[in-house]
Amino acid sequence: MNYLNNSSGNPGFRKMFQNNSALSLKNFIFLSSYVMLTRVGISEFLDMSVKLPVIDVRSPGEYDKGHIPGAHNIPLFNDTERSEVGKKYKQVSREAAVYAGLEFVGTKLVSLIKHAKKIAGKNEILIHCWRGGMRSENMAWLFSVADLKTYILTGGYRAYRQYIRKKLSENQKMVILGGMTGSGKTEILYEMEKLGQQIIELECLANHKGSAFGALGQGIQPTTEQFTNDLFDVWKDLDPNKTVWIEDESKNIGSVSIPDELYEKMNKAPVIIVEMTKELRVNRLMKEYALFDPKQLEQSIMKIQKRLGGLKTKNCIKSIHEKKFKEAIDISLSYYDKAYNFSLDKKKKRIAGHIRAEDNSSAITARKIIDITNKKAW
């Protein structure tokens, strides 16, 4: 056992890994049978991931849909190969799928090892596939015989997803920061964070500001699955004994959805409302959006044309192309303010206070909120 694992003490073994043609499937299967696999549960896996690299051996398509933040993708199969192996498994037999998989992998073994070696700083790695089955086992065998200490996630990525949903369901003190469009809630949250408050900035995680204009200036949105994973990456570090502040959001932020476990808590949490004059809000929004191409702004307006109404939509677009941005914003706010007041009516019983923002200083407003809420018992 030790002899097989010690490539430095076995010149023949080392030479076999240096020569791709010499590393036959027969040799790989033989060596794999002598390697002990080490499995760890999801909680231990995540604790270890603070110091050790995580390798996701699923296909690129699976990885792109959603992965553990920071994980490296070293796929055993590409998307096409994974599909072929799956068909063999379902339509023929497990044995046929195994042989098909080995045929695909045979020419990649050395490159897979080299890739893993570059990532493994201390010759230790964490590894997972979808369910902790054949793919992670086979890759763990391969990496182990190449002298890499490998830990397999029991239950795989599916166990991770189940775990994070359970964690998001656990109790956490929470207050929602509300306010009409343009009242600077995001900036206020960041100022509160500077003052020692816990925050979760959902719009940042979603790469979207929540409105019809929310995609402007933002990167590509993650999938809802990846959004949830990234959300948990922040959630797991929260102090459950301290309040976390979250901006008031609808269920969907652009193309991603807030997970039910969190959204249900948000809908039960107390709400602090930031009040700001329409003039200040218009000025803030003009600075934020007037720099964008009028065609982009027009496309955003068209997303709300049914609710804004035909005449208002026409006048708003006309104002945009005439660079009368204050007028355009004032018109669009007629829709957003109405929608906000409607949603606020449903939150009446949860409103814990109103904070008047007399000026445009997010820092001053943040201090006001903290001073007032420190006197409350949530």
Residue 105 has pLDDT above 60, yes or no: yes
Residue 1 has pLDDT above 50, yes or no: no
Residue 107 banded pLDDT, cuts 50, 70, 90 = confident
pLDDT digits (tens, 9 = 90+) for 190-242: 999 999 999 999 999 999 998 889 999 999 999 999 999 999 999 999 999 99
- The residue type found at 297 is L
Residue 28 has a pLDDT of 53
Give one DSSP letter per residue of 217-261, joined into a string.
T--PPPPHHHHHHHHHHHHTTS-TTS-EEEE---SEETTEE--HH
Give one DSSP letter per residue of 156-168, joined into a string.
HHHHHHHHHHHHH
> Could you give the 3-state DSSP secondary structure of residue 194?
helix
What's the whole-number average pLDDT of the chain?
88
> Could you give the 3-state DSSP secondary structure of residue 358?
coil
User: What is the C-alpha separation between 365 and 360, in angstroms, rounded?
Assistant: 8
* Structure-token pair, residue 21: 């043609």
Residue 36 has pLDDT above 50, yes or no: yes
- Taking phi over 0 as left and psi of -120 to 50 as alpha, with beta for the rest, 184 belongs to left
Q: Measured at the alpha carbon of residue 209, what is the angle toward residues 207 and 213, in degrees to the nearest 5?
A: 115
Number of Cβ within 10 Å of residue 375's Cβ equals 7
CATH number of 2-163: 3.40.250.10
Q: How far is CA 246 from the centre of its chain?
A: 16
Domain ranges across the chain: 2-163, 170-373
Residue 35 banded pLDDT, cuts 50, 70, 90 = low
Q: Which fold has domain 170-373?
A: Rossmann fold (3.40.50)
